[in-house]
Structure 1
Amino acid sequence: MTILTAIDADPGCKEVIETAHELATGLDMELVITHVVPEESGKEEATAEIQEIVQSVIDDLDTVDLRIIPEQTHRDLPTGRTANNILQVAEELDPDYIVIGSRKRTGLGKILLGSVSKLVLANADTPVVTVEQIQDAEA
């Protein structure tokens, strides 16, 4: 049994990690944390940054499966690139839950802009838990 969590490099994702970790611990499930990087060349730097953020919430990184994946573009798919990559990992893992962050949008932004969390929520075959991600949170 698995919980898949998708995070970005913003320190505001700590609430997402914390929620996913609490769910995984409480339900005795494996926790897989994934982060999509724009290019293969930025993978090492992103790995160090994400490890630091995750370790600030979860003391022991050995208790999670941390995956940094390069973004892939598929023109024939209906979702955005980052959302598509998250959905591909979900398809491979077949998790019991997906936990993602969601930033508050107001006014016209709710209508015009499709966020990653909305795309994952609309296209996932797995229950999705959204956690309000506080932008620019203090580290």
Structure 2
Amino acid sequence: MKLLIALDNNTGAQHIAEAGYKLAEALHAHTVLLHVTSDATYYASPNYSPILGYNNFNNAEAVQTDTSEKLKVAAEDYLDNVKWSLGDKTIETVVKEGDYTASILETAEEIKADMIVMGTHSRKGLDKVLLGSVAENVLHHTNIPLFIIPVKPAEAV
């Protein structure tokens, strides 16, 4: 059995990784961590980090880069740190570039995932319309069971 955990390196990502890994352990499943980036040339805005997304610069791990290769290395380092924190050397890591939903679905198919674990930031209203919901898009385009973990913004806690 394989369990794919999609992470975005947002403030709740460690919680998602830990909850997903506990589920994988309970199911005796092999764990694969995934992080999806977009083309680094689109990150001209000072309010956007290709690893963290919008408005996450309070986080010390914010990454600004000008090349896809540097972005990939930063994402790989991030996943390696998550893997290390979970304490399991058998965890696989995958970094993809492109559309978040499509990359998650493609990776799940490629690795023959039995379940996908991901978080949702519980956006509502205009934020959801403008930014969309990756979790909702994955849910509507897969037959693979999906375990969604709600992640509340720091100010909502």
TM, length-normalised to structure 2: 0.71
| 1:105 paired residue among 115, 123, 133 | 123
- Deviation, structure 1 residue 115: 1.2
Of structures 1 and 2, the one with the larger relative CO (CA 8 A, separation 6+) is 1
Greater helix proportion: 1
Q: Do the aligned residues in 1 keep the contact of 2:3 with 2:24 (CA within 8 Å)?
A: yes
Which residue in the other structure is 1:66 paired with? Answer: 93
- Verify: 1:116 aligned to 2:134, yes or no: yes
Could you say what secondary structure the match of 1:11 adopts?
A: coil
Which residue in the other structure is 1:76 paired with? Answer: none
Q: Do the aligned residues in 1 keep the contact of 2:3 with 2:113 (CA within 8 Å)?
A: yes
Q: Do the aligned residues in 1 keep the contact of 2:17 with 2:82 (CA within 8 Å)?
A: no
Unaligned runs of 5+ in 2: 40-67
Tell me which amino acid in the other structure corresponds to 1:45: A
Paired residues, what number?
A: 126
- Deviation, structure 1 residue 117: 0.9
- Deviation, structure 1 residue 37: 1.9
Could you say what secondary structure the match of 2:16 adopts?
A: helix
TM, length-normalised to structure 1: 0.80
Q: Distance in 1 between matches of 2:80 and 2:72?
A: 12
| 2:73 paired residue among 44, 59, 62 | 44
Q: Distance in 1 between matches of 2:5 and 2:154?
A: 19
Could you say what secondary structure the match of 2:12 adopts?
A: helix
Q: Distance in 2 between matches of 1:19 and 1:38?
A: 26
Unaligned runs of 5+ in 1: 72-80
Percentage of pairs with the same residue = 30
Q: Do the aligned residues in 2 keep the contact of 1:20 with 1:99 (CA within 8 Å)?
A: yes
Q: Distance in 2 between matches of 1:53 and 1:134?
A: 20
| 1:95 paired residue among 97, 113, 120 | 113
Q: Do the aligned residues in 2 keep the contact of 1:11 with 1:53 (CA within 8 Å)?
A: no
Tell me which amino acid in the other structure corresponds to 2:15: E
Which residue in the other structure is 2:3 paired with? Answer: 3
Could you say what secondary structure the match of 1:34 adopts?
A: strand
Could you say what secondary structure the match of 2:21 adopts?
A: helix
Could you say what secondary structure the match of 2:19 adopts?
A: helix
- Deviation, structure 1 residue 136: 5.5
